[in-house]
Structure 1
């Protein structure tokens, strides 16, 4: 392909018609086209992404085997070989659901579909993280969303094409060839490409009838109002909802409640230890159509062959639903319509693009079908039979830390090298020794019941259970107050709660693991060994659960308030007495060893178990332990009993001192807190996908 030599001539000729850019499939989960950058031109394959605004390609200086393996297998841009290159130098990091990139801005001429875009700023990437980038057929990403989404401040390529009068109309459209799916993919033999990006208009040879237009409801993503979704006699999104068309997403992502209904109606099952939502391949041609209603009346219909994905797994064909949940934010009713939708419904985008730039958060796309993800197990270690910690590392090369696993908070923090007296007995993070450290410097302060920490935020790679979590923001503590911190075996705390209770907007480690495709399912579970003498005191399972560690089936209860792992407890029974009789709220908290409840409930329980002293500790007669009643927690209609051996602690420093684990809440609060005394008896699963918890007797 010859590039235009004179920009004025290019404007005169190119602005009179539309340009077509062939697209090629990367495993039917992404579509890319060819561009060139520089003079003479350097060729790149770029993913066409309507869900982000920026253009980036790998740089020639992206050579590290540790942080940039993806660059080593792709085309790289060499600014020294381009006579039209202009340096910028500003460092930028962009995070996606399946990875992250970092580098510096540069400016050069970019050619797409035979058209030269002058003075186009793009990101020259020198660091790439994520297996999907490593195995992708494309080198970089070309964003086609509104400029308001830009995290870099650069003007998107299509906006520059409009500004430079290189397209006939401020319109582009997107077509994907409909392949026929069998055990392998057979394409139309007369088509040498898999789709087409049309710049400046549309191609009426590639669609039937007339367009149904909907207005962009919020400029940023290509977002519009979806009237409703119909499936058989079921109506979802009944009072309308928001939807985004995203060519960088392969599946259809929706609110968990709606997606669960759809998958139930098509007979899909979300198996444990697998990422897919499977259906019986023999039944897919009998499955119902799904209609997306737009523009007040127009049905955009998907057939079962559109929304069922066939793959070969272990030499057998498996069939999966293309409908997946927005597991991070159930309260967000927005749908994301990816390539599964676009293969049936061509996309025509005609709303003019604003030229003004505003700051925006980095786009975090949902993970689609990422290879090599799984369930991982992390050993738990005992800190005075009270709380449990794991070993992680931060930085490059790795610096090791012991961190308490805490479902009652969401933040990760470790002591900083700058923390002096209060941190001398613990490992400390030295950001000067990490090549992947990114300064943040926002101050943080986290209060706890028996202490607090403060310091500033930093960003680095965190290795958790052998998995590298890229661009993880955490707290560097420069001061710790509290006796518990001073004598603890652990250095810091790793929170496993929801994003809603995080400090300073830090994304929790586990949510980043979900977004980066590092775990099979948005689930973790905890097993605690009841024998404190074992070297390994339990295990944390990331991405699922371990059936070898529990008996029977889980009893599930829904999370009632995202933040803590909070749920409704039916009641608590002891002997013939009942507290929490009409139901009450409870929280599972691995950062607590006790069973904490409202003072009025705890007073009744401790009286019934024969408390003989109650100062800072609630003392019982050690000789009476075997005679004490069980305490039954009724959850989800099922009884979870604790015996006196569970809820009485025999102080080893005093053979005759036995202490009740039932303690008053530190504030007058009706919420119960079930700590590790409860988890030692009951294996617990924390499901962020369905926002629920499951309990089963631990083996």
Structure 2
């Protein structure tokens, strides 16, 4: 079967510009070079690779197939024209080629743009950084005339690469992006849009016919469709959102293989208190709830804050998602751009989604637009954060961050350009509040910067999580307000000054030890809604309380909850009981969900994560200055 891939409004007219394609079988390179190219192509998704040969009334530019994995073709830049072999790509929107000023080893074997030889060349003051997964390019933005065959784009913004890594041995000089303008990192109009705006093509449409039986005969057409290349009627598929070449796929049949090509178509006075709010929201589908729960289990030590206005406090509203995670708004940049982030004591970095992002997920999130911030500063760093169920990769930048009235200037943070495994997660990024040693970016975390810059008086924060009503919860920075707890604070030293982890003596029920026999480690995780532990011990607890499995969770009839025993957590010689009414949460009229679950994180010692189920019972103080955690009975 032969397929015609069409993207955009069909236009049948004489203004169609056809570019013949050729499929060339060339000699294979070494296995290692082939694998390098294959890995890049797998990592940098949604590619469009075009080839062409001359035709009578068409715009032509020869392209060729490299290792049967990528089509590359020639374009020219400048006056007089300088020719480059580029990869045409619908996963990005910018054009870049290597510059004569490039110092990387990669450039020694490639054609370099000589700007002094072009009479139409115009420099800009802008820089450019492109991150793929295993490779990167850095350079400057310039303007010149670009030609693709007979198609001409004047005053075209493009990138001149001055440094790149990971491209060694690859058979092209640069990349020409054909995606939507919102994906542009140069902040200009992409080549394809310019061709339309300047009248070089009649419609923002192109179509592909790729021959299977012979090297020649393939064709790409701009501006419309030639019906002679397909049979029957065209089947149209809407994009999930205009801005990414991403469509909904119902399923994958094991007997069929599909190639998807997507292209452009049409604390005292000095205490800073932040009120918290626990909001009961409508349950989503079971699958979406499970995805969020799994993410929270895997991404330990979270801090979730909520707030409402008060007389002498810094406020920023936050909300509880699915009774599992508190998220809240922060702003980045000047003027401020707002993001809903997950506050996390298990990590130390702040990252948000960037306008750089090409993942489908980003279509539904707020994206940081660096060109709109006067205080934005790029860096030469990249970073990668791995979770059990996903990953995030991006670049490091600097800007002004605000959490309510708290301001951290020149704050290092990450701009996510690619992520996987975050689908259905209801936030735009993560703000880490742990120790600096946990930073993946090598900078000063935002909490440390707030102390260093005098925004808070002491490196202390504390939580009160309300049990009986959605409002009333509070997090306070710089000290402790005694009105939120009874008795005295019991201080527990951290095992090591690098994460919020303490020694726990035992876990017991009805005075019998049921877990942590002989001692173990406990992580106080303000973000996790659950209590997590090793599989064998969790299974024993579930058996003792009579919980029955249902899918991946365990339930008891709500009618028996008042008969179930409390579970005691002994820390530093003091018992902290958690009653059944706290660890069994109503999920329906009849069934109550048990919040003890297996910890998916593999550890060398017995480790428990004590989340909101525990912390709603006890006021908690996180003291970075003395490397300790304080616990007291919450009011």
**Normalising by the residue count of structure 2, what TM-score does the alignment of the two structures yield?**
0.49
**Normalising by the residue count of structure 1, what TM-score does the alignment of the two structures yield?**
0.45
